[in-house]
Amino acid sequence: MEQPGRDDLISWKESQPANFFTAVPQLRSLLELRMGKPLTALLEEKLTNFGRDVAQIIEPAVHTQERNREFPKLRSFDEVGRHVEQVEFHPAHEEAARAAWASGMLGTALNFEGAFEVAGLFFLLSHVGEGGQACPIVCTIGLRRAVEHRASPMIKERYLKGLTETDSSKALRGSQFLTEVQGGSDVGANVTRATLDPEVPGAWRISGEKWFCSVADADLFAVTARPDSAGPGTKGLACFVVPRSLDGATPNGFRLRRLKDKLGTRILASAEIDFNDVLAWPIGELDEGFHVAVEELLNTSRWLNAVGSAGIMSRAYLEASSFALHRTAFGVSIASYRAIREQLARMKIETSAALASTFALTELVGRIDEGTATESDAGVHRFLVNANKYVTSIAASDVVHQGIEVLGGNGTIEEFSPLPRLYRDAVVFESWEGTHNVLCAQVRRDCVRLKLLDVMNQWIEKELSLVSTKYSREVEQILHSLSALQPGLLESLIDSSRSDPNFRRLLTDLMHVVQATCLLREADNSPSDASKKATASAFILLHLENGGFGAEPRWALFVDDILVEALS
Ligand SMILES: Cc1cc2nc3c(=O)[nH]c(=O)nc-3n(C[C@H](O)[C@H](O)[C@H](O)COP(=O)(O)OP(=O)(O)OC[C@H]3O[C@@H](n4cnc5c(N)ncnc54)[C@H](O)[C@@H]3O)c2cc1C
């Protein structure tokens, strides 16, 4: 029997990219724009090889685990009843880890080029979603930064080599445990305690419970805890490194209660852990623990969360756009329907915008790492690392959702495409490393305390001054109104009489301006690529037409009346 529909699906599957680096030319153009020079032959080779390995080794390994529900399993005891607190994975997990670590992502120098190399490789990796590897890599990079920048010579000597190893079988994996059951956003409410060890010089003993512990299989845990004599709140928190084991086998005083059964990131082991007098060493000064956690760990993971969100979006777009070309409905390719084309274009626009703003952020990470960042660079970084995580993670869920719709009913089927798993992972990317409201509140505080809106305004102005391409009258009009955004106007918008939701709306609008600016820079840098100019124009018309900067929508006037029964 003739089955043309199946043949179409087969040819769609056969058209899938064999290399995500060559499939996404925007990565090269953004790297070159933001690095200010062409890719070196070495970086090009690394990206080409890893783009291939992600498509041909890591994707099939992740698919095998997800398809067969081969999730991590807790093994608390060994054969003779001793506590081992191990996590067991399907062999495909190790296969994926070998390829991910071999990319060299963990071994890059902390400098300008290094930041771009990490971002480029991590973007490619994220085409499989979290994949059981992204979180361990992010946590290991974060812990390595903390150790390299802040730890004692003894800790550096002991752990840096393992944290920068590119052979996964010899590597030390890092993790970061801040969240406790009483709250993840409110880290200052942490009650896990640290007591000076009377016998081991410089060491501490940690006791308490951590509620969300991803990479529960890690070799080294970064743990926040409150030293006995410390006060309340975030100021009283210290940050410690805790080795999984002191003798290479016996757990260092902790017990894995259970692995969490999660919506997304399902092949990543996330546990609840009890710590009972575990031996630990401080990273940095005791009273700097919260700064260590934010500046080294969370800033790394918020930056890379955005890179990962862009990778997820890029994959969703690749899947949906190729599907549309191969699927027929009512006798014609669905790619010929205007509604589908518009949907795909929206996906492409948001993906490009997320990539563009995230690589602008990467430029700042690179300058900070090489020690050439100005005060204003540091301010823009501080704003973007939080605001960009917020907007890109929301966009990722939206874009994958749109992709699922393009695939129709097939889009909801686990085995058919990676989209269901990307969607689940994207939802997790939205909440870990800082929820939306909490990031917005942080940016608001920074804007008030550090005058970051002025800093952002100057940055936008400087970036726009580098754009010489001419746009349509409508777009030029909007651009003109943006360049007239005076610092005073923005300051009035964050006046303390305005509510948090209004600031969240203002921040969303402001990030649209940032992303528009980044897209304009990108289009300017590739004058022969008409699609870049079209993408920038469309993004601006989509998000910035009819301004109403930070305006409260009419429906929000009814919020209290609607909730009066539920919340009174
Ligand atoms: C899969 C997964 C893995 C994780 N792994 C780790 C890990 O390895 N290590 C780790 O430390 N943590 C981890 N987390 C925890 C994560 O960081 C927290 O879930 C997150 O910080 C939010 O904390 P919470 O869940 O306690 O939410 P809550 O803090 O209880 O927040 C609940 C809601 O209230 C809102 N809210 C809170 N404060 C405010 C405010 N001031 N204004 C307005 N709204 C507010 C939040 O935005 C959210 O919508 C993980 C989470 C997930 C989902």
Structural domains of the chain, ranges and CATH numbers in brackets: 174-287 (2.40.110.20), 436-551 (no CATH)
- Indicate which atom in ligand 1 lies nearest the CA of residue 139: 8
Instruction: Identify the residue whose C-alpha is closest to ligand 1 atom 40.
Output: 438
| Number of other residues whose CB lies within 10 A of the CB of residue 196 | 14
Of 480 and 417, the one with more pLDDT = 417
Q: What value does the mean pLDDT take over residues 433-449?
A: 94
What separation in Å is there between the alpha carbon of 90 and the centre of ligand 1? 29
| CA–CA separation, 547 and 541 (whole Å) | 10
What separation in Å is there between the alpha carbon of 143 and the centre of ligand 1? 20
| 492 pLDDT more than 80 | no
Among 48, 98, 89, which Cα is nearest to 70's? 89
Percent of the chain with pLDDT over 70: 93
Q: What angle do CA 499, 503, 507 make, to 5 degrees?
A: 170
| Residue 527 in contact with ligand 1 by CB distance below 6 A | no
| pLDDT, tens only, 379-392 | 999 999 999 999 99
Instruction: Identify the residue whose C-alpha is closest to ligand 1 atom 16.
Output: 432
Q: What value does the mean pLDDT take over residues 160-172?
A: 98
What separation in Å is there between the alpha carbon of 185 and the centre of ligand 1? 5
| Residue 179 in contact with ligand 1 by CB distance below 6 A | yes
* Residue 475 binned pLDDT confidence (cut-offs 50, 70, 90): confident
- Indicate which atom in ligand 1 lies nearest the CA of residue 435: 47
| 411 pLDDT more than 70 | yes
Q: Is the backbone of residue 50 left (phi > 0), alpha (psi -120 to 50) or beta?
A: alpha
| pLDDT, tens only, 498-544 | 677 778 988 998 999 999 999 999 999 999 998 899 999 999 988 88
Q: Write down the mean pLDDT value for the chain.
A: 93
Instruction: Indicate the top mutation candidate among 179, 234, 258 to test ligand 1's pocket, ranked by most ligand atoms within 8 A of CB.
Output: 179
| 213 pLDDT more than 90 | yes
Instruction: Identify the residue whose C-alpha is closest to ligand 1 atom 18.
Output: 184
Among positive and negative, which fits the CA dihedral 228, 229, 233, 238?
Answer: negative
| Residue 262 in contact with ligand 1 by CB distance below 6 A | yes
DSSP string, 227-290: ETT--STGGG-EEEEEESBSSSSSBSSEEEEEE---SS-TTS-EEEEEEEEEEEEESS-GGGHH
Instruction: Indicate the top mutation candidate among 137, 209, 435, 507 to test ligand 1's pocket, ranked by most ligand atoms within 8 A of CB.
Output: 435
| CA–CA separation, 419 and 399 (whole Å) | 10
* Residue 478 binned pLDDT confidence (cut-offs 50, 70, 90): confident
* Residue 3 binned pLDDT confidence (cut-offs 50, 70, 90): confident
Q: Which is it for strands 174-177 and 193-196: parallel, antiparallel or unpaired? A: unpaired
Instruction: Indicate the top mutation candidate among 209, 213, 431 to test ligand 1's pocket, ranked by most ligand atoms within 8 A of CB.
Output: 431
Instruction: Indicate the top mutation candidate among 182, 224, 256, 432 to test ligand 1's pocket, ranked by most ligand atoms within 8 A of CB.
Output: 432
